Amino acid sequence: MLKKFIHTILLTSTLLLGTSCNKWLELAPQDGIIRQEFWKTKEDIQSAVVGIYSSMLTDPLVNNLFIWGELRADMVAPGFIIQFNESNLMTNEILSSNPLTSWRPIYKTINYCNTVIEFAPQVEDPTLTTEQRNAYLAEAHAVRGLMYFYLLRIWGEVPLKLTPTSSDATLEQLPKNTKEEVYNQIIADLTFAEANAVSTYEPNNPFSKQDKGRITKYTVNAIQADVYLWNEKYEDCLTACNKIIASGKYRLVPGTTQASWFGDLYLEGNSEEGIFELQFDNQKLNSFFPLFIDANRRFIAADKVLNDMYTIDFGDANNKDIRGDMGSVRASDGAIWKYVGWTGDDARTLNQSYAHWIVYRYADILLMKAEALAWTNRGQEALDIVNTIRTRAHALVTSSQDPDPTSALDVSNYILAERAREFAFEGKRWFDILRHAKRENYKNLSILLDMVVESAPADRQQTILNKFRDFNSHYLPINDYELNTDKNLVQNPFYIK
Amino acid sequence: MKKINFTNSSLFLVVLLLVLLGGCKEEPIVYNTTEDVNITGYFEKYPEEFSEFKKILDITGTSGFLQAYGSYTIFAPNNAGVEAFLKAKGKNSVEELDVEELKNIVKFHLLEDTISTPKFTDGKLPRLTMYGQYLTTGAQNSNNVTRITVNRQANVVKPNVLVGNGVIHVIDNVLQPASQTLAQMLESNPNYSIFTQALKATGLFESLNKIPATNTDVETQWLTVVAESNQTLASKGFNSFDALKARYSHTGNPANPADSLNLFVKYHILKEAKYLADIVSVSSHATLAPLEIVTSSLLGQRVLLNDAVFNGVHEPGVEINRQSSDLSARNGVLHDSQGHFVIKVRKPQRVDWDVAAECSDLAKIPGVLRQRSLGTGAPAYNDSFAPRGFTELNDLRSPGVTGIGYEYGTSGSLYGAAWWGDFLTIPLGGPNRNPWIELRSPMIIKGTYKVWINYRSRAQSANNSQNLNEVSIDGVPLPRLMNFVQGRPSGTEAELEGQGWKAYTAVASSNHSGRLVGTIEIKTTDRHWVKFTTINGTQNTNHLDMIQFIPVSENQLYPKFHMDGRKLGPNGEPMQ
Per-residue 3-state assignment (H helix, E strand, C coil) for B413-450: HHHCCCHHHEEEECCECCCCCECEEEEEEEEECCEEEE
Q: Over the stretch A382-414, which tens digit does the pLDDT of each residue have?
A: 999 999 999 999 999 999 999 999 999 999 999
Neighbours of B276 (CB within 10 A): 24
Q: What whole-number distance in Å separates Cα of residue A406 and Cα of residue A378?
A: 8
In a domain, A107, yes or no: yes
Please give, rounded to a whole number of angstroms, the shortest distance from the CA of B263 to a CA of chain A. Answer: 29
Among residues A419, A396, A259, which one has the least CA distance to residue A317? A396
For residues B297 and B282, the answer to whether their CB atoms sit within 8 Å is no
- Of residues B44 and B310, more confidence is placed in B44
Confidence (pLDDT) at B382: 47
Domain boundary among A424, A450, A484: A424
What's residue A16's pLDDT?
Answer: 60
Q: What is the CA radius of gyration of chain A?
A: 26
User: Is the CB of B159 less than 8 angstroms away from the CB of A497?
Assistant: yes
* A454: closest chain B residue by CA: B300
Interatomic CA distance for residues A405 and B113, integer angstroms: 57
The residue with greater pLDDT, A6 or A275, is A275
C-alpha to C-alpha distance for A155 and A490, rounded to whole angstroms: 12
Q: Give phi and psi for A301, each to the nearest 5.
A: -75, 145
Q: Do A466 and B386 touch (CB under 8 A)?
A: no
Q: How many residues does chain A have?
A: 497
Most confident of the ranges A33-37, B66-70, B295-299, B528-532: B528-532
The answer to whether B528 and B441 are in contact (CB under 8 A) is yes
Do both A335 and A405 map to the same domain? yes
Tell me: ipTM over 0.85.
Answer: no
Please name the helix (run of DSSP H) or strand (run of DSSP E) that holds residue A482, with its range, or none: helix A480-485
Across the interface, whether the CB atoms of B366 and A462 are under 8 A apart is answered no
**Based on the domain organization, do A117 and A225 belong to the same domain?**
no
Each residue's pLDDT tens digit, B165-198: 999 999 999 999 999 999 999 999 999 999 999 9
DSSP code of A348? P
Q: Would you say the CATH fold of B182-337 matches that of B39-171?
A: yes
For chain B, what are the domain ranges? 39-171, 182-337, 351-568
Q: What is the model's pLDDT at position B204?
A: 93
CATH number (domain holding residue A415): 1.25.40.390
Q: Per the domain annotation, does A6 fall within a domain?
A: no
What pLDDT does B524 receive? 85
For B182-337, the fitting CATH number among 3.40.50.12160, 3.30.70.270, 3.30.70.870, 2.30.180.10 is 2.30.180.10
Band the pLDDT of A62: cuts 50, 70, 90. Answer: very high
Residue B162: closest CA among chain A residues belongs to which residue? Answer: A97
Residue A431 has pLDDT above 90, yes or no: yes
Element of type H or E holding A10: helix A2-19
Residues A373 and A266 in one domain: yes
Would residue A57 count as lying in a domain?
Answer: yes
For the beta carbon of residue A462, count every other beta carbon within 10 angstroms. Answer: 23
Beta-carbon-side half-sphere exposure of residue B503 (alpha carbons within 13 Å): 19
Answer whether residue A330 shows pLDDT above 90.
Answer: no
A312 lies in the same domain as A262: yes
Is A463–B384 a contact, with Cβ atoms under 8 angstroms apart? Answer: no
> Higher model confidence: residue B370 or residue A161?
A161
Q: How far apart are CA A96 and CA A490, in angstroms?
A: 12
H or E element in which residue B191 lies: none
pLDDT computed for residue A1 by the predictor: 59
- At residue B379 the predicted structure's pLDDT band, cuts being 50, 70 and 90, is very low
B60-95, pLDDT tens digit by residue?
A: 999 998 988 889 999 999 999 999 999 998 988 888
Please name the member of A295, A467, A494 whose beta carbon is closest to the beta carbon of B388. A295
Would you say residue A135 has pLDDT above 80?
Answer: yes
Once rounded to an integer, what is the mean pLDDT over residues A96-109? 95
For A472, residues 6+ apart whose C-beta sits below 8 A from its C-beta are A156, A492, A493, A494, A495
CA angle A138, A139, A140 (to 5 degrees): 90
Partner-chain residue, chosen from A324, A345, A467, that has the shortest CB–CB distance to B146: A467
Of A200 and B397, which is predicted with more confidence? A200
Inter-chain CB proximity B139 and A467 less than 8 Å: yes
Say whether A470 and B145 touch across the interface (CB within 8 A). yes
Average pLDDT over residues A171-190: 94
Sign of CA dihedral A470, A179, A361, A86: negative
Residue of chain B with shortest Cα separation from A92: B118
Taking residues B371-384, what's their average pLDDT?
Answer: 56
Chain B: residue whose CA lies nearest to A85:
B118
Q: B269-271 and B284-286: which strand pairing?
A: unpaired
Percent of chain B whose pLDDT exceeds 70: 90
For residue B384, the model assigns a pLDDT of 56
Per-residue model confidence (pLDDT) at position B320? 95
> What is the pLDDT averaged over residues A65-69?
97
The more confidently predicted of residues B2 and A278 is A278
pLDDT tens digit sequence for B266-286: 999 999 999 999 998 888 888
Would you say B134 and B124 are in contact if contact means Cβ atoms under 8 Å apart?
yes
| Domain count along chain A | 2
Chain A, chain B: beta-carbon pairs less than 8 Å apart: 122
Interchain CB distance below 8 Å, A333 and B387: yes
Confidence of residue B18 (pLDDT cuts 50, 70, 90): low
Confidence of residue A6 (pLDDT cuts 50, 70, 90): confident
CB-closest option in A296, A325, A465 to B389: A296
- How many CB atoms are closer than 10 A to CB B92? 10
Confidence category of residue B378, pLDDT binned at 50, 70, 90:
very low
Task: Name the CATH superfamily for B351-568.
Answer: Galactose-binding domain-like (2.60.120.260)
| CB B459 within 8 Å of CB B430 | no
CA-based radius of gyration for chain B:
34
**Which is nearest to B41 in space by CA: B158, B171, B165, B172?**
B165
Strand partners, B224: B270, B333
**pLDDT > 90? residue A131:** yes
In sequence order, what are the residues at sequence separation of 6 or more whose Cβ sits closer than 8 angstroms to the Cβ of residue A39?
A45, A119, A120, A122, A123
C-beta separation of B547 from B511 below 8 A: no
Which of A306, A453, A496 is nearest residue B300 as measured by Cβ atoms? A453
Cβ <8 Å between A88 and B137: no
| Closest among A424, A428, A400 to A414, alpha carbons compared | A400
Say yes or no to pLDDT of B54 above 80.
yes
Mean pLDDT of A331-336: 83
Does the pLDDT value for residue B377 go beyond 60? no
Flag if A463 and B385 touch (Cβ within 8 Å): no
Please indicate, yes or no, whether residues A378 and A233 belong to a single structural domain of this protein. Answer: yes
Report DSSP letters for B76-104, one per residue.
EE-HHHHHHHHHHHT-SSGGGS-HHHHHH
- CA–CA dist B312, B316 (Å, integer): 13
| A216 lies in the same domain as A85 | no
Collapse the DSSP code of B22 into the 3-class scheme (helix H, G, I; strand E, B; otherwise coil) and give the result: helix
The domain in which residue A64 lies consists of 39-178+428-497
pLDDT > 50? residue B391: no
Torsion-angle region of A440 (φ positive above 0: left; ψ -120 to 50: alpha; else: beta) = left
Of B141, B383, B388, the CB nearest to A332: B383
Element spanning A469, H or E: none
Which DSSP category does B526 fall into?
E
Q: Which chain B residues are Cβ-neighbours of A469 within 8 angstroms? A: 141, 144, 146
Output B65-71 pairs: Cβ under 8 A, ≥24 positions apart.
Answer: B66/B38, B66/B39, B66/B40, B66/B165, B67/B38, B67/B39, B67/B40, B67/B41, B67/B165, B68/B38, B68/B165, B69/B38, B69/B164, B69/B165, B70/B112, B70/B165, B70/B166, B71/B112, B71/B113, B71/B114, B71/B165, B71/B166
B298-356 pLDDT per residue, tens = 888 899 999 887 777 888 899 999 989 999 999 999 999 999 999 887 788 888 999 88
- The pLDDT-based confidence of B464 (bands split at 50, 70, 90) is confident
Same domain as A209, residue A80: no
* Digit-coded pLDDT (tens) for A351-388: 999 999 999 999 999 999 999 999 999 999 999 999 99
* Contact: A470, B389; criterion CB under 8 Å: no
Nearest C-alpha of chain B: how many angstroms from A138? 41
Query: Residue A85 and residue A99: Cα distance in Å, rounded?
Result: 7
Q: Do B367 and A317 make contact, defined as CB atoms within 8 angstroms?
A: yes
Q: Which of B119, B142, B145 is the mutation pick for testing A, counting most A CBs within 10 A?
A: B145
CB-based contacts of A384-391 (< 8 A; 24+ apart in sequence) = A386/A414, A386/A415, A386/A418, A388/A252, A389/A252, A389/A363, A389/A418, A389/A422, A390/A418
pLDDT at B400: 74
In angstroms, the CA A395 to CA A389 distance is 9
For residue A90, the distance in angstroms to the closest alpha carbon of chain B comes to 11
| pLDDT tens, position by position, A197-213 | 999 999 988 889 999 99
Residues of B in contact with A460 (CB under 8 A): 120-122, 277
Mean pLDDT of chain A: 92
Which of A293, A313, A462, A475 to mutate against chain B (most B CBs within 10 Å)? Answer: A462
pLDDT for B368 beyond 90: no
Ranges of H-type helices in A270-356:
288, 303-304
Decide if A296 and B277 are in contact by the 8 Å CB cutoff: no
Q: Tell me the pLDDT band of B380, cut-offs 50, 70 and 90.
A: very low
Give me the pLDDT at residue A283, please.
92
DSSP B320: B
Cross-chain Cβ contact A459/B384 below 8 Å: no
Comparing CA positions, the residue from B433, B427, B388, B435 lying closest to residue B406 is B427
Q: What is the mean pLDDT of chain B?
A: 87
- Distance of alpha carbon A286 from alpha carbon A355, whole angstroms: 7
For the entire predicted model, the pTM comes to 0.81
Give the up-direction half-sphere exposure of residue A195: CA atoms within 13 A in the CB hemisphere.
7
Compare CB distances from B366 to A80, A312, A497 and report the shortest one's residue: A312
Contact B157 A497 (CB under 8 A): yes
CA distance B251 to chain A (A): 41
**Among all residues of chain A, which has the CA nearest to that of B392?**
A80
pLDDT digits (tens, 9 = 90+) for A337-348: 999 999 888 899
Write down the CATH number for the domain with range B39-171: 2.30.180.10
* pLDDT score recorded for residue A136: 97
Which of these, B92, B44, B46, B80, lies nearest to B155 by C-alpha position?
B80
pLDDT at B25 over 70: no
pLDDT tens, position by position, B500-523: 999 999 999 999 999 999 999 998
Q: Among the three residues A424, A444, A477, which one is the final residue of a domain in this structure? A: A424
Provide the shortest C-alpha distance from residue B102 to chain A (in Å): 26
The full 3-state SS of B452-510, as one line of letters, equals EEEEECCCCCCCCCCCEEEEEECCEECCCCEECCCCCCCCCHHHHHHHCEECCECCCCC
> Residue B200's pLDDT is what?
94
Residues of B in contact with A296 (CB under 8 A): 389
Please tell me the predicted confidence (pLDDT) of residue A30.
75
Domain assignment present for A251: yes
Q: Domain check: are A164 and A67 in the same one? A: yes
